[in-house]
Amino acid sequence: MSTQITSTDRSVKVVNHPLAQSTLTRLRDYQTPTVEFRQKALLLGRYLVYEAALDLNYRQTGVETPIGPAKGVALSDYIILAPVLRAGLIISEAAQELLPTARIYHIGLRRDEQTLQAITYYSKLPDVLPSESSVFILDPMLATGGSAVAAIKLFAGLKVKTIRLVSFVASPEGIATVQKAFPEVKIITASIDEQLNEHGYIVPGLGDAGDRIFGT
């Protein structure tokens, strides 16, 4: 029986492609070893960033093929990747292959496991960013949404053009929290899961993403 996946509205895009969904299934399996987990996380990162890049801006350009002139396009946005440490690093690795000219600003956030509040321990953003900046916030898990909102806030204050949030798995609670604070942010995810448990973990989720990626 296939799982029914729905997205709540147009600001959430669930990437329902069979390749993405079968890759996510390997990530969910608690028996998937670290080496395979990392490989599959990179792969799912590629699929999601590819989808997230769908509405990037481009300009018309021309090139000469060996046979003659051809019309083409070139990306025109100033692209920023913002991996949330630690787990977002794996999506950043995937994104850099697809968007090699992107600037990368790392965001250090950790959840206080008692209060579930996000604590910022690293961010080194400039005072201004180009107005055509398109920011991709990269974090595999959107749980309570506290980390996502903290990361988005850092960029929203800099008046960038667009902010996207790329996550492997999102909870309904996390989506609602982000939408309430930043309705303009588009969320690209492979799944909207059932709920959070009493420890703030996504159910069924895939466990602790950072620990599973880094084998800790």
Determine the residue type at 208.
D
Q: Considering the rule CB under 6 A, would residue 202 count as an interface residue with ligand URA? A: yes
> Where on the chain is the footprint of ligand PRP (CB under 6 A)?
84-87, 109-111, 116, 118, 139-148, 174, 200, 209-210
Residue 174 binds what, of ligand PRP, ligand URA, none (CB under 5 to 8 Å, by partner type)? ligand PRP
Minimum Å distance from CB 110 to ligand URA? 10
Torsion of CA 24, 26, 30, 33, to 10 degrees: -130
Contacts 24+ apart (CB under 8 A), 81-84: 81/105, 81/136, 81/138, 82/106, 82/107, 82/135, 82/136, 82/137, 82/138, 82/151, 82/154, 82/155, 83/107, 83/138, 83/139, 84/108, 84/109, 84/137, 84/138, 84/139, 84/147, 84/148, 84/151
Nearer to ligand URA, 99 or 205 (CB): 205
What residue type is assigned to position 73 of the chain? V
Q: Which of 8, 26, 111, 120 is catalytic?
A: 111
Q: Which has the closest alpha carbon to 109: 143, 146, 136?
A: 146
Q: Are 102 and 129 spatial neighbours (Cβ–Cβ below 8 Å)?
A: no
Residue 17 interface partner, choices ligand PRP, ligand URA, none, CB cut-off 5-8 Å depending on type: none
Shortest Cβ 64–ligand PRP spacing (Å)? 46
Residues 129-168 that bind ligand URA (CB under 6 A): 141, 143
Evaluate the omega torsion of the peptide bond into residue 172 and state whether it is cis, within 30 degrees of 0. Answer: no
Examine the residue annotation and report whether 115 is marked as an active-site residue of this protein.
Answer: yes
Shortest Cβ distance from residue 150 to ligand PRP (Å)? 8
Rounded Cα distance between 186 and 189, Å, is: 10
Catalytic residue status for 111: yes
Q: How far is the CB of 19 from ligand URA (least distance, A)?
A: 23
208 is catalytic: yes
Which of the stretches 28-36, 77-85, 99-107, 199-207 binds ligand URA when contact is defined by CB under 6 A? 199-207
- Taking the complex as a whole, the smallest distance from the CB of residue 63 to ligand PRP amounts, in Å, to 40
65 as an active site residue: the answer is: no
Catalytic residues, which ones? 111, 115, 208, 211
- Give the binding site for ligand URA (CB under 6 A): 141, 143, 200-202, 205, 208-210
